[in-house]
A and B are shown apart, each in its own frame.
Chain A
Amino acid sequence: MSQNPYQPINGEIVDIIDESQTIKTFVIVPEEKFKFEAGQFVELTLPGEGEAPFTPSSSPADTEKIEITIMKAGRVTGLLHQCKKGQKVGIRGPYGNGYPIDDFVGKYIYIVAGGVGLAPMRSVFLTLLDRINDFKSVVCRLGARTPDNFIFKNTLFWSWQKIDGVEIKLTVDKADADWDGNVGVVTTICDKKDVDVKNAVAVICGPPIGMKYATLKLLGFGFDAENIYLSMEKNMSCGIGKCGHCMIGKYYVCKDGPVFTYEQIKQYPDIWD
């Protein structure tokens, strides 16, 4: 293990899966075993080009490879989308905290996610599946712009919905001819009766505006702020609480997050900006 925290481990992209027009999943094999917890993030380097933070979408149980699901949103992600199998990459991390899954035992888990926010949720979901009987049930409310924009379509639309202890509802902002599900933002499929809010934790991930309204809705259902877990997106660069870019109040999102309870950060302005 290098004593240089800025030094990535070398890795290679061994497969690329098209999830939607703007989102791809990259399967990466690092040269060393790579352990992480669901919710932690990594810094992915495209050598010579740049580095950006991502939360893996694969199961932490697999230490041989990591899957990272990436939306084309900026310069580095645009370049990643042009990559082919065999591309060498670098990985630093994992950084920050994961979801405290052990604290979720015996409770309902209410996952509310939208867009590429489903990516880290898949890692959480797969972690929960490994011990599904430990929880009351896993209730997912997931949204995408259009049916085609859903990522992980194969598993999401079929196999996951058949698992005992899992209940999934989907919605799209804009339907196509084949869609017979709900149309509307993700909060329109959230209902107070979905879970017993006094014995539930919520896990929210998505674009900031979506997280904001989902949080407000769940507070309205009677969720305690300390039972709402948010995965915050900031401009993490170093990953180790030094470079300053990712601050929310006194917290470094890279070190103290990226998973926060709403209770921890609600006092700070700008958390949704």
Chain B
Amino acid sequence: METVFINKLKPLLDAVAEQMALLLPKKTGEHYIYSRYDPSGEIPVEFNNIRPCTPIKEFLLPVCELAATSPEPLEPEDVKPFAIFGLKDCDLRSIEILDKVFADEEFRDPFYVKRRENMFIISSDCFEVGENCFCNLFGGRPFAQSGFDLNVSKVKDGFIIEAGSQKGRDFTEKHPQLFTETSGALLAERDENRSRTQRRLEQNNAEYQFDAPTKEIVEKSQDSEIFDVEARNCVECQACTRICPTCHCFYLYDTKQKDYFAKMKMWDSCMRVGYAAVAGGANPYKILGDRIKHRLLHKFVYFLDRYGKDMCVGCGRCVDGCAGEVDIRTVLKKLSEEFKDKEKAKVTK
């Protein structure tokens, strides 16, 4: 572990911004939303204590982008290196999940891969726990575990910077004047902060301990009525899928431009009624409860079967963003209770 210490964030961010465009979370109302870094210093730099409101996927998979053109074909343009500050462990884990889909060996999405390769990731420890954060239920931590170039941990008198990749090490080595050495006391303070946040996270989610692995619970609950009951609390706004950092469904559509034809790639949502409909009229997910069920099956069963990971990082954004009253933790907990009762009934039979 290579760590250095810095008193203030601004010199660090200035050094990054000298090299490349830098985006960082800015407090907007109650939330943190990414905006372009302003080196003039007019806007004070803030350390985001919790994850930003919006998902990191929007920098890798834009809401809508050009995917192909005709008659002249489209090749992906080169992407200039850019940096993002303030990602949390949940964000890093969501990138890992997107990589599995869009950077796979068989079919690489070159638009995604170009952005991914040029993204300089500066993550940071969670200093507080968001109202709906539940990453601990899905293997997450309130501090980065891997997948960052630099990680920033807030301590009383400044920030501990850890390099997590060659790119990160190159950066700290290139800017020795910015940093001083860390001490054992500082690292101990960081660890204490981390444990404190972890404990708070666990307290907040104590009531959501599940009775079996989520895969088993969801897979064996396909006949449950809970999905239809939960559907009554859903207003079909699709916010959960848009704000989810791991949901990545999209569709392709064609448009006419002035002197060429364009194929666009745009975010889609499995909560949309026509999502899986075919021209012949068949639609396996006509009913909202079935769409909610499919979403959970995809996240906790199918994705795990295929890629060895849950497609949920426990960031809680879907709970924050829900315009109805669906809380994925509550749905899983209800399924878990029902599952436990069914298993008990089996034993007593």
A: residues with CB less than 8 A from B are 2-8, 10, 45-52, 73-77, 88, 90, 207-208, 233-235, 237-238, 240-247, 249-250, 255, 269-270, 273
Q: Check if B78 is an interface residue, CB within 8 A of chain A.
A: no
Question: Contact between A45 and B254 (Cβ–Cβ < 8 Å)?
Answer: yes
Q: How many angstroms from the CA of A3 to the CA of B301 in the assembled complex?
A: 31
Q: Check if B279 is an interface residue, CB within 8 A of chain A.
A: yes
Q: How many angstroms from the CA of A241 to the CA of B248 in the assembled complex?
A: 11
Question: Contact between A45 and B263 (Cβ–Cβ < 8 Å)?
Answer: yes
The interface centre, meaning the residue of B252, B285, B306 with most chain A CB atoms within 10 A of its CB, is B252
User: Which chain A positions have C-beta within 8 A of B256?
Assistant: 47-48
With contact pairs A242-B102, A243-B252, A245-B276 given, residues A4 and B301 touching in the complex (Cβ less than 8 Å): no
Question: Contact between A73 and B279 (Cβ–Cβ < 8 Å)?
Answer: yes
Question: Contact between A244 and B249 (Cβ–Cβ < 8 Å)?
Answer: yes
- Enumerate B64-95 residues with CB–CB distance to A below 8 Å: 67-71, 73-76
Taking A235-B278, A245-B268 as given, write out 8 further A-B residue pairs in contact, using a Cβ cutoff of 8 Å, ordered by the A residue number: A4-B75, A45-B70, A48-B254, A74-B278, A208-B280, A242-B107, A270-B285, A273-B282
Q: Check if B101 is an interface residue, CB within 8 A of chain A.
A: yes
Closest to A48 in B: B256
Give the shortest distance, in Å, between A69 (CB) and chain B (any CB).
Answer: 14
User: Which chain B positions have C-beta within 8 A of A269?
Assistant: 222
Question: Contact between A47 and B70 (Cβ–Cβ < 8 Å)?
Answer: yes
Interface size on B, residues (CB 8 A): 53
User: Which chain B positions have C-beta within 8 A of A233?
Assistant: 278, 280, 282
Q: How many angstroms from the CA of A99 to the CA of B309 in the assembled complex?
A: 31
Q: How many angstroms from the CA of A47 to the CA of B264 in the assembled complex?
A: 12
* Contact of B109 (CB < 8 Å), options: A242, A249, A255: A242
Closest to B306 in A: A250
Give the shortest distance, in Å, between B273 (CB) and chain A (any CB).
Answer: 13
Closest to A45 in B: B254
Give the shortest distance, in Å, between A158 (CB) and chain B (any CB).
Answer: 29
Q: How many angstroms from the CA of A158 to the CA of B68 in the assembled complex?
A: 44
With contact pairs A3-B76, A4-B68, A47-B261 given, residues A77 and B250 touching in the complex (Cβ less than 8 Å): no
The interface centre, meaning the residue of A8, A51, A76, A242 with most chain B CB atoms within 10 A of its CB, is A242
Closest to B307 in A: A250
Residue-wise, chain B 102-128 has the 8 Å CB interface mask toward A (1 for contact) of 101011111100000000000000000
B: residues with CB less than 8 A from A are 67-71, 73-76, 101-102, 104, 106-111, 222, 248-256, 261-263, 265, 268, 270, 275-280, 282-285, 290, 294, 297-298, 301-303, 305-306
Q: How many angstroms from the CA of A74 to the CA of B281 in the assembled complex?
A: 9
User: Which chain B positions have C-beta within 8 A of A4?
Assistant: 67-68, 73-76, 110-111
User: Which chain B positions have C-beta within 8 A of A241?
Assistant: 101, 104, 106-107
Closest to A52 in B: B279
User: Which chain B positions have C-beta within 8 A of A74?
Assistant: 278-280
Question: Contact between A3 and B275 (Cβ–Cβ < 8 Å)?
Answer: no
User: Which chain A positions have C-beta within 8 A of B270?
Assistant: 244
User: Which chain A positions have C-beta within 8 A of B75?
Assistant: 2-4, 7
Q: How many angstroms from the CA of A48 to the CA of B263 in the assembled complex?
A: 8
Question: Contact between A3 and B222 (Cβ–Cβ < 8 Å)?
Answer: no
User: Which chain B positions have C-beta within 8 A of A5?
Assistant: 107-110
Question: Contact between B71 and A10 (Cβ–Cβ < 8 Å)?
Answer: yes
* Contact of B302 (CB < 8 Å), options: A7, A46, A76, A247: A247
Closest to A236 in B: B278
Question: Contact between A51 and B252 (Cβ–Cβ < 8 Å)?
Answer: yes
Q: How many angstroms from the CA of A244 to the CA of B102 in the assembled complex?
A: 12
Give the shortest distance, in Å, between B127 (CB) and chain A (any CB).
Answer: 35
The interface centre, meaning the residue of B108, B251, B253, B268 with most chain A CB atoms within 10 A of its CB, is B251
Question: Contact between B70 and A6 (Cβ–Cβ < 8 Å)?
Answer: no
With contact pairs A47-B254, A238-B250 given, residues A6 and B107 touching in the complex (Cβ less than 8 Å): no
User: Which chain A positions have C-beta within 8 A of B110?
Assistant: 3-5
List 12 contacting pairs A-B, 8 Å CB cutoff, sorted by A: A5-B110, A6-B252, A7-B67, A10-B70, A73-B280, A76-B279, A90-B70, A208-B280, A240-B107, A241-B101, A242-B107, A244-B248
User: Which chain B positions have C-beta within 8 A of A77?
Assistant: 279
